[in-house]
Each structure stands twice: as C-alpha cells, then as structure tokens.
Structure 1
Amino acid sequence: MPIGPFAPLLRGLKGLGSILRETLVTWIEDGVPARGAALAYYVLLSLGPFLVLLIGFLEFFLNEDEVREGILTALRTNLGSRAAETVSTVIGRVEVPDLLSPASFITVALLLFGATAAFTNVRGSLNEIWGVEPEDQSKKEIALDLLRARFQGFVMMLVTGLVLTFSFLITSITSVLAERFEEWVPNGSIFVQLADAGLSLVFIGILFAAIYRTLPSIEIEWKTVWVGAFTTALFFVLGKWIVAQLLANASWTSYYGPGASVVTFLAWIYFSAQIFFFGAEFTQVWSRRRGGVMSQRPE
C-alpha cells in the first residue's frame, strides 16, 4: 500500500483508471460505435442548411467576407485543413436566400429534418447508455413521444446554434485581441489563445450539460450532469485536437480521390461522436459508482 504524501493521488489515479476501464467495456457492450455512424450521416445532411442560416444570422453583426473567413479559420483550427475543405467548398457555394423565399423554407425544412433526426439519435443512444427500458405504449403515445423527441431536438438545435454563434464571435474577438497583445506584450497572444480555449471548454461543457439533462428519458442529478459534462468537454477538446492531427497526416484518405475531403469530414464527425458518447458512458459509470439518484422523467 502506498504511503506518504502521494498516497491520495495514487489512489485517485487508480480509481480513475478503474472507471475508465469500465467505461470502455460498457461503451463497446452498448453498441455505441454504430450509433456514431448514423449521427455522422445526419450531421452531414444538416451541414449545408445550417451554414446558410448561420452565415445569414452572423451577417447582422459582421460583413459577409469576415463571416466566411472566420468560419473557415475556426474550422481549420478545430478540424484540420483536410476536414475543413468540405465545409470550405460548401461555404464557397452558399447563397443566403431572401427571408420569405421558397429556398428559405426548403433550407429550414432540411435543417429541421437532419438536426432533429440527429438529436433523436443522440437521445436513443443516451437512453441505451443509461439503461432506460422502453415502455409499452399505444400508437397514440408512440406518436406523441416521437413528436416530443423531435421538439426536444429542435430546441437543442437552437441551443447548439446559439452556443456555436457565441463561440464563433468570441473566437473572432480573441483573434483580434491576440494581434494587439502581440504588439503590446511579448508572446501575449499565447495568453489570449489560452483564454479562448478556456471559454470554448466552458461553452462546450454547458452545451453537453443541457444535452445530458434534457434528452434522456430519465432525470439525472445536476451534480452528476456537471461532472459528466465538463469531463466530456475536456475529453472532447483534447480528443478533437488529436483526431485533427491524425486526419491532417492521414495518407489513406487519398485513396478516395475527389471525395477525400468528404470522407475526412465524416471521419472527424464520427470520431467526435465517439468521444461524446464515451463521455456519456463515463458519466453513467461515475454516477452509478457513487450512488447517483436517477428517476423516470414524468411524461
């Protein structure tokens, strides 16, 4: 048995290692990897309409060139240059339609279908992870449950859009501040970049907390939600950087020819989804080991 001042640290690391091992086992047993593939498809389907609405909204605050260049810069930073090529191609062809034109309604309809399907997929995956047993329901109850799930997906889509918008605006502001700090303080841009990373972690953690709290068919304690959300956010921030580096240097994508950028983007979404679901499994294991209280969500 370890003794001395490092004993608590070693015990904590041992406990964390045990939780991570159990998380990996349950992640495989729940069939989570297959659900990530479906989620990647829905995200790709929603990409074009989402960018149209995002660009149209941001143009209220910035000019069109700043918006498009800012989005591409953020994507290259987070996804890597190869995965960002797909979005770059889409952005280059995006034309924001008039508010009341038929194209606007088609754009919104496609976004609603893809995004709500994606969040319905996430809800089913979270229910599987938390061991929620499906109840016997009448056809009317099934239809109402489906509509409720789609409405939740719509609300979460709006929340996600707002979080991404604020994150983008903060990234744009910090990029300007980084240039100014570099003039005033040697290596001052490093501090600004660290602040930007910290704010991104906070935004992602809040988004994950909202998803963990609202989408599953059970109510999870807030203390469990916050621990799981910010642990997952940390996994996500570190994991997406690692995945971006791997994809940036991957030679296998060249086998797909002109479709290499699309394949790379799908791979990034797939791996990101696995990180998100792994974090959800971690939250479930952590909560169960500490006797977390869960209850069926009232209908």
Structure 2
Amino acid sequence: MASLRKARRLIKATVAEWQEQEVSLLASALAYSTVFSLAPLMILVIMLLGMFFGETTAREQIVSQLDDLVGDDGADLLATAITNLRDQANEGPLQLILNLGFFLFGASSVFAGIQNSLDRIWDVKPEPGRHVFHFLRKRLLSAAMILAIAFLLLVSSVANTLLAAATASLNEWLPAMGSLWQILSWVISFVVIAAVFAAIYTVLPDADIHWQDTLIGAMLTAGLFMIGQWLFGIFLDLVDIGSGYGVAGSFLVIITWIFYAAVVLFTGAVFTKVYARRYGLPIIPSDFAVSTVEDRPERCPED
C-alpha cells in the first residue's frame, strides 16, 4: 500500500509539474522546428553510418526505420527530401562544403531546441554574459549528440542484423523460438532508445543530474516512446491518411509523430525532475549555468 501511495503521489506531482511547464507548448515548438531540420539530420546520420555500411545501405536502413515510425507515405516524403538534398551536395567541392555546413547547422538546431526546453523544465539557464560561449558549446554538444545517435543506430543495426540471421538459421530447427527472437529484438530496441534519451538528459541540459535518476527517467521515456510507436502503427494501418490528403497527409503524419515524440521526451524530463527531488539527488546547475528559482528545497516533502 505504501508503494501505491508513493506512486500515486509521484504521478500527481508529475502531472502538476507537466501543466506548470506547459509541456504541450514546448513540444509544439520543437515539432515545428524539427520538421525543417529533419532531412539535414537524417543526411548527416546516413553519411556517418555510410562510413561503415555504405551510403546506399545506410539510407535503406534509415528509410526502413522511418517507415516503422511514420508509415509508407511519410517515409516516402522524407526519403524524397533526403535524396534531393543529398544530390545537391554532390554538385562540387564548394557546394559540398556549403551543404555540409547547412546540414550540420540545421541538424544541430533540433538539439539546441531540446536543450533550451530541458533547461526550462529543470529550472536552469546559461550564465549571463556568456552568450557566444554558450552558443558554441550548444552547437558542439548538438554535434556530439548526432555522433552518439549515429553510433547507437550502428550498434542497433548490427545487433538486429545478427539477430535476424540467427533467427533465420535457428527457425529451421526450432520454429517455436521465433517469438523469443522477436522479444529479443524489442529488448534491443528498448535499450537503444533508452540510451538515446539518457544521453539527451545527461549531455544537453545546463544541469548536473545523478545517473540513477537519469536512467529511471530514460527508461520510462523509452517505454512511452515504444508504446506510442506501436499505437501509431495501428492507427496508420486503420486510417489511410495519404489517400485523402496526399502530400499534406504525409506531412501531417510526420509532424504528429514528432509532436508525440517531443511530448514523451519532455514528459520524461518532468518525471525525472519530480523523481529526483522526491527520492533522488537534486538537479543542480552546471558550471556555466545558474538556477532560475531561489531557495529550492533539495527534496519535496512526501505530502
């Protein structure tokens, strides 16, 4: 009973904090900006993964992942944008350099927006008077996140490829083991997604947070993300938006999914904040940041 009361209080406090931080507005702003940065981000990830698999294979893997997230129409729309931008980058050395700069700036803008929102949720902000330093630091951290995500996608792709090969071989002798391999695939996906969220919560904000609190929040966020992915897939199977709205329908699917992912990301951040204040260690500003609240107690009372 005591555990149920704690869980109920934790959920109640998370909902109250969620409303106070206006998470839906933060998610809407991030979804809008991400739409314009998604193709450059995907191109950079494809280029990085292409160093290991070849660019064609990397592109096919990314498009396959997008198909799982936003359906055939949304994936086709993004694949077309990626192809068009990538073809422009092959026009010459100068054009390549300019496009790489554009890709990096556009892709890093997504993580810069995430950082600003996480700073707000966790009641921190950059130290005043260090605007240039903070801008450069933010862009470098964003570039590091792109590399980290590319690495995790590489690990996930290799693991799933090996698992698929093992499944194909073992199914000839143990057909009943197919469900086990599917579960292992889900576990791998969960671990990779949780690692991405943990990296975002740890690296991007101008705050220091204990790794155990981060891990708990990242696991919750990964669970919500995968549940939403599953439900969104069912919705796309039942409703053919593309046939009724064409390209506009594909765009609607993409921005709706991005909005949900942003809501999940920031909900996990709110939960992490509430959990850390109640049961973990307080979230404090980093060396180059200050708190936006005064006299904040280290832990909230247990009610």
**TM-score by shorter chain over 0.5:** yes
2:210 maps to 1:246: no
Superposition deviation, residue 283 in structure 1: 0.7
Distance in 2 separating the partners of 1:190 and 1:91: 35
Match of 1:231 in 2: 220
Match of 1:182 in 2: 171
2:95 maps to 1:106: no
Superposition deviation, residue 242 in structure 1: 1.9
Distance in 1 separating the partners of 2:43 and 2:70: 20
SS at match of 2:124: coil
**Residues 73-126 of structure 1 deviation map (CA, whole Å, 9 limit, x = unaligned):** 333334333432323434565549559723432332222222222111111111
The equivalent position to 1:288 in structure 2, one of 258, 274, 277, is 277
Contact in 1 for aligned 2:40/2:104 (Cα 8 Å): no
Contact in 2 for aligned 1:42/1:115 (Cα 8 Å): no
Contact in 2 for aligned 1:54/1:165 (Cα 8 Å): no
Amino acid at match of 2:108: T
**Residues 159-209 of structure 1 deviation map (CA, whole Å, 9 limit, x = unaligned):** 122222322332333333332232231133322221121112112222222
Match of 2:296 in 1: none
SS at match of 1:211: helix
Superposition deviation, residue 63 in structure 1: 5.4
Distance in 2 separating the partners of 1:274 and 1:13: 25
RMSD: 2.8
Contact in 2 for aligned 1:213/1:220 (Cα 8 Å): yes
Once the two structures are overlaid, the 10-residue window that deviates more, 116-125 or 244-253, is: 244-253
SS at match of 2:281: coil
Superposition deviation, residue 240 in structure 1: 2.2
SS at match of 1:187: helix
The equivalent position to 1:278 in structure 2, one of 261, 267, 272, is 267
What is the identity percentage for the equivalent residue pairs of Structure 1 and Structure 2?
A: 29
Match of 1:129 in 2: 121
Match of 1:158 in 2: 147
Q: For structure 2, which runs of at least 5 residues remain unmatched after alignment?
A: 289-303
Superposition deviation, residue 64 in structure 1: 5.6
Superposition deviation, residue 280 in structure 1: 0.8
Q: For structure 1, which runs of at least 5 residues remain unmatched after alignment?
A: 1-9
Amino acid at match of 1:269: I
Q: TM-score, normalised by structure 2?
A: 0.82
Contact in 1 for aligned 2:70/2:253 (Cα 8 Å): no
Aligned residues: 287
Contact in 2 for aligned 1:35/1:121 (Cα 8 Å): no
Match of 1:77 in 2: 68
The 5 Å alignment of 1:18-57 reads 18-57=9-48
Match of 2:301 in 1: none
SS at match of 1:184: coil
Distance in 2 separating the partners of 1:97 and 1:173: 33
SS at match of 1:207: helix
